[in-house]
Copies of this chain bind each other. A is one copy, B any other.
Amino acid sequence: MADKISADQPSPFARRGSTEEVEEGLAFAPKFDADGLVTCVATDARSGDVLMVAHMNAEALQKTIATGEAWYFSRSRRALWKKGETSGHAQRVVEMRIDCDQDAVWIKVEQAGPGACHTGRRSCFYRVVPLGQGGVVTLEFRDGEKTFDPGKVYRK
């Protein structure tokens, strides 16, 4: 991979300190889980809508910071991927934030192309879970119209 980070590149991450340091400090010490991942929420920088929730390993996080484009780690494929590498629907990161205990990342992105979701929609969150109901829950589509044909966009 042309833009692979070389092994001798220094880590951008600090060691985890005390709770006070993690929450109130300026050291970037992400808390990767047992699988080496942090959760990442990507929102549309214009509308504020949540586009997707995905995961980043250390390399994905490092590449996102270095390049300003979103990289993720696929848990199902066990692989690093650049958002848009197949579809062209890349995400330019306008701002990245980290949460209090540094185990979740929020990126505000400019989404290239007609959508972020592999199902062919603008956002992955195209169904509502109705509230206040007992018994079995039935979803309702909201903003569920397809903005592109995933069969065309993702074919190799």
Which residues of A come within 8 Å of B, CB atoms? Answer: 9-14, 23-28, 39, 41, 43, 47-50, 52-53, 64-68, 93, 95-100, 104-106, 117-119, 121, 124-142
Interface of chain A: mostly helix, strand, loop or mixed:
loop
Supply 7 further A-B pairs (C-beta < 8 A) apart from A13-B137, A41-B50.
A26-B138, A41-B41, A43-B43, A68-B131, A93-B131, A96-B128, A99-B125
Q: Smallest Cβ distance from A114 to chain B, in angstroms?
A: 15
Residue with the highest number of chain B CB atoms closer than 10 Å, among A39, A125, A134, A136: A125
Q: Please tell me which one of the listed residues B9, B98, B126 contacts residue A125 in the complex, with CB atoms under 8 A apart.
A: B98
CB distance from A39 to the nearest CB of B (A): 6
Asked whether A52 lies within 8 Å of B99 as measured between CB atoms, the reply is yes
- Please judge, given known A-B contacts A12-B136, A14-B136, A49-B48, whether A98 and B27 are in contact too, CB under 8 Å: no
Q: Which among B12, B118, B139 is the interface contact of A135 at CB below 8 angstroms?
A: B12
Quick check: A65 and B131 within 8 Å, CB to CB? yes
Assuming the contacts A98-B125, A104-B53, asked whether A48 and B43 have C-beta atoms less than 8 A apart, the reply is: yes
